[in-house]
Structure 1
Amino acid sequence: MPAMTRRALIVALTALLLTGCGVPVDDAPRRVSGRPGPHNSPVAGDADSMAGRANESLCFVRDDRLGTVVRRVDYLPDVDTHLRHLLAGPGNTERDAGYTSALTGTASVAGARLSGGVAEVEVGGAGDETGRSDQILAFGQIVCTLTSRADVHGVTFRRDGQPLDVPRADGSLSRLPLTAIDYAPLIGRR
């Protein structure tokens, strides 16, 4: 292809690309709303999340099984606050529906932070040596609650900054990141 024709072709293609791709231009900025459904849930720190409503899933115990309740909140809180909501226990309506918490009297939870998609939960005091039969349910509540979030892919537990072995549904201990699958046999059916 001659240099002149190639140059003309490049200029024509450049002009075509610069004229746009058919997206209309507005006179003023406009708010873009996401599509409805679970893929549009706000995450902590989202500036626009205050304007919408979000689902906060919390895992409690009913009939010796793990069960999830969903609370409507203005925005999904950060991981530590979400955990604090779980630790506060079921509300009146949830208690009336038969939900309780195995967290009272088991591991003392100091807080949580998110690191690379893994929620690291710091526990103090009682932990792996309590001997309580509901200890598996307690750890399951935390894991199932935090992994219900789109930004959490697993949960680990630490005591004094050191990894802590915690029980899974089958009674085996693990210090690897846990997910709801590790507690699947304990999750109640609706």
Structure 2
Amino acid sequence: MARKLRKDEPNKAPPKSGADDLSVLHPDMTVSIAGQSVTVREYGLLEGLIVRGYMRPFTADLERMLSTGSEVLTEDVMDAIGLHAHLVHRALAQSIAVAGNEASETDMQWIGQLKDLDGDRLLNTWWGVNGLFFLRQATRRVAERARRQALDGATSTLSSPPPDSDPLIDSDAIPNGSSNSSTNEP
């Protein structure tokens, strides 16, 4: 049972852990890239729906990688990112744009001019902030396909009655010469 502490009574509760609680709820990260402080944001709901639409080819490649059952290496993901560089460029720019705004041409150009090391830092930060956004989509599709395959592979133990028969009437229980019709014919 809880009780109220007196003013002179010290609080003996353990210190709250969770210094990373905010980063779990809002994993935005600010990094220094090419001499500029850049905040890479997690996509919001509506923004994420837009990004999801144009990034579908990239997500499909992630899905294919995950569905093999083999271990997926970070470099495998980076290869998929490279295959869809034009889409990722747009998604990267969107993640550094001011929340609620679309990525500007200036953002796109700035990213396009980054040197390898700075570009790699930005790309890895973007993946750290938004990677789960794409992986959730891919894993949901893989899981749904597996469930459907399991259901399609399951066979029913109930047999269906032959066509043109009434499953509620046992034909063996009807005496010979009798009809299951309700009309009285001689």
Q: What TM-score, normalized by structure 1, do the two folds share?
A: 0.25
Structure number with larger C-alpha Rg: 2
Q: Which has the higher strand share?
A: 1
Q: Which has the higher helix share?
A: 2
